[in-house]
Amino acid sequence: MTSRRTKAVESQSNIDRDLSTRINRRTFASQAATGISLSLPMILSPATRKVLAAPAPSDRVNIGVIGVGDFGRRQHLGKLLLPNPRVQVVAVCDVDQLHREQAAIDVLTHSKRRVSQYKDFRNLLDRKDIDAVVIATPDHWHALIALAAIEAGKDVYCEKPLTWSIDEGKALVAAARRYGTVFQTGSQQRSDQYYFRQARDLVHRGAIGDLQRIVTHLGAGSSGGTIVAPQTPPASLDWNFWLGPAPYVDYTPERCHYSFRRFADYSGGRLTDHGAHQHDIVQWIIGADGSGPTHVEGTGTFEENGLYDTLWKFEVKFVYGAHGNVELTTTSDPSPHGGVIEIYGSRGHISVSRQRIRADDSSILQGPTGPEEYTSRLHESYVGHYTNWLDCIQSRQRPVCDVEMGHRGATISHLANIAARLQRPLRWDPVQEKFPDDDPANRLLGRAMRGTWSL
């Protein structure tokens, strides 16, 4: 297949042409026959119509999907990749044999093609016919796989939170810039055309006066968890490979697959899970995509007797000294799924979430509201995010949530975790990306990796 970088110099007419007349009705029929739930909205936006339009076969992007467990298979493969004629899934990879076999069945059922299956992502990346990869593994694997993909010349879509640590994010940004990688972070709220973009635009045009402070409500993390005796891993799972760079621990079902988010060795808990989405939007609203706060302090509560060891409750405060001293507070206060962002200006207040946008002066809300059903709006944002990534693969431009934006948004969550653990005020240098004259805090920017794994 012709290199995506070579094709960048070709005409962009295929991107810009009117695609509304090219929806293939047989595509919808074949999707319905697969048994895969696509949750497509009844009224299709321009972004959705663009994705569903069939390009010439030579223009399709060959994709390998790394991590096809719950979210990788259900969301990325089932709802976004297989229904999209702009891409062709040619390989799937997972350290759990059952996951990769079921994903391969999904591709066969939908596309009538057999795809290669891999346990080791490095073998998938060795294939010269793969243009790009989608990474939907547990968080502690994101950086290593993305770095290897960048070095193999692949473009990347990586789920959020982009990294397990700040040092990993710095390494990813440097590598992506060195290789010219088109790298989209899976913070699809950037591509929401209804609520988050409207909130950002209202702030930027001064609708609520001078921006003063923002509060994110993320909801409490997980507490408890039953401590059980170690077990023999399932025969389908390579547990040692699943752990990878993380410290070794004997297998228990609670540590693996979805619930990995509750363990600090693999995730930052609620702060990085929901926080990665909302902190990305905060950075966007403040105008700090390539920057960050200058001060942080906070408190947090950890579960003392249960199995889970990420923060349960927290309140962390930031000051953006280089951006008008805007203050950010992130809390574990109750919130709907995904969290709520409260934005306060000198002349008003906006509240925004995935479910709605409100303002104390409702007359300033003039943007589109999108499909009434929440799941349809959410799907629209995912479709738009993929559309943007695929467009940029062809144009070689940076996508809407480029690797540095993903890194800087994740950094806020990582800083919150560090501040809550140390429970003392910290100064942060967003240019050097370190704590000035604070070795104990700087030691928490990364970790030594197990075995032969390293950045």
Reported pTM: 0.88
Range of the domain at 131: 4-188+377-403
Domain co-membership, 409 together with 279: yes
* Predicted confidence (pLDDT) per residue in 318-370, tens digit: 999 999 999 999 999 988 777 999 999 999 999 999 999 999 999 999 877 77
User: In terms of domains, do 285 and 416 share one?
Assistant: yes
DSSP 221-279: -----------PPPTTB-HHHHHTTSPP----GGGSGGGGGG-TTT--THHHHHHHHHH
8 A C-beta contact, residue 288 and residue 299: no
Domain for residue 307, yes or no? yes
pLDDT in tens, 149-205: 999 999 999 999 999 999 999 999 999 999 999 999 999 999 998 899 999 999 999
Spatial separation of the C-alpha atoms in residues 115 and 92, rounded to whole Å:
7
Same domain, 397 and 416: no
The pLDDT tens digits of the residues spanning 174-183 come to 999 999 999 9
CATH of the domain at 297: 3.30.360.10
What pLDDT, on a 0 to 100 scale, did the predictor assign at position 9? 35
Same domain membership, residue 409 and residue 395? no
Kindly state whether residue 125 falls inside one of the protein's structural domains: yes
Residue with tokens 């999904």: 106
Number of domains in the chain: 2
Is residue 364 located within the same domain as residue 409? yes
Residue 455 forms part of a structural domain: no
Angle value at C-alpha 187, between 42 and 432, nearest 5 degrees: 165
pLDDT given for residue 65 in this prediction: 98
Tokens of 326: 């805007």
Nearest to 162 by CA among 408, 343, 338, 447: 408
